[in-house]
Chains A and B, each alone.
Chain A
Amino acid sequence: MGKLDNFKRSLWVFHASGGSCNACDIEIVAALTPRYDVERFGIKLVGSPRHADVLLVTGAIPRDFADKLRRVYEQMPEPKAVVVVGNCGTSGGVFYDSYNIAGPIDEIIPVDVYVPGCPPRPEAIIDAVVKAWLKVEKLEKKLEGKEE
């Protein structure tokens, strides 16, 4: 794993939950509790994708939610990264091949980091967010024309 070159700004994360059983969502919230407290590193959940650097997606995505998820992704400013939390979003999980599921999330929007698990532990989610942060930094350098 690489290292973060700088902490010039906080990493803001937007959480989109589509058809999740809530287990992954609770583990995301657990990462914010005093035990893990990711906010001390500036990682915080925000209420709008317009403010977010990273999109966390949980759950198998129902057909009706697919275009909404696509719109949420489009509304995020560049540079951005997507993290899929849990088996359902990664592969469909127990809903694999279900008639009302739009498919794994990477068939709807581009995904950068996958966190398998049912649900994954908060440590795994934090690790994925840091990986997404590295990706965002890399993209930011590219946008600024400072690519290595």
Chain B
Amino acid sequence: MSFTLLSGSGFWNPLLWLALLVFFALIGYIIYSRGNPSYKPNTDQVMPFLSGNVEPSKEKVQVKAGDIYWGFVEALKGYYKVLTAIHTGDMRDYILWYLGVGSIILFLLVGGA
């Protein structure tokens, strides 16, 4: 039984793939075993060097994608405050808004006729 799958652009053999995986895993292990035996995980030794300061939490130092809009959000915070409050994430609220606004528009367009 042949494990080789031939195609127009090459071949695929899972046994060869497995052999290569084991080979590279072995190379990885050899490199790992030659590492510094005194390495201490979960200590300051593995923390980034920030001139001796404690690493601040990610929330304090990370620039989020939303921070790009900080200027807009800050300038229009009155508008965003209302808009954020009505974005409840509840589909029923959105349907109610849809029906409410839809009926007002309908009333304005055909209500007077």
Contacts and interface: CB of A to CB of B under 8 A. Distances in A.
A75 B53 contact: no
A68 B38 contact: no
Given A48-B49, A68-B51, A71-B52, A78 B44 contact: no
A143 B47 contact: no
B57 interface: no
Contact of B38 (A49, A50, A65, A143): A143
A77 B39 contact: yes
Contacts of B47: 75
Contacts of B62: none
Contacts of B39: 77-78
B43 interface: yes
Interface residues of A, number: 17
B45 interface: yes
Interface in B28-83: 36-40, 43-45, 47, 49, 51-54
Interface residues of B, number: 14
B38 A74 contact: no
Interface string A101-113: 0000000000000
Interface string A64-82: 0101110110111111000
Would you call the interface of chain B mostly helix, strand, loop, or mixed? loop
Contacts of B49: 48-50, 72, 75
A83 interface: no
A16 interface: yes
A67 B54 CA distance: 9
A143 B37 contact: yes
A126 B101 CA distance: 82
B55 to A, nearest CB: 10
A122 B90 CA distance: 72
Interface of B: 36-40, 43-45, 47, 49, 51-54
Given A49-B49, A50-B45, A69-B52, 7 more contacts: A68-B52, A74-B44, A75-B44, A75-B45, A75-B49, A77-B38, A78-B39
Nearest 9 A/B pairs, CB to CB = A68-B52, A78-B38, A74-B44, A48-B49, A72-B52, A71-B52, A75-B44, A71-B44, A50-B49
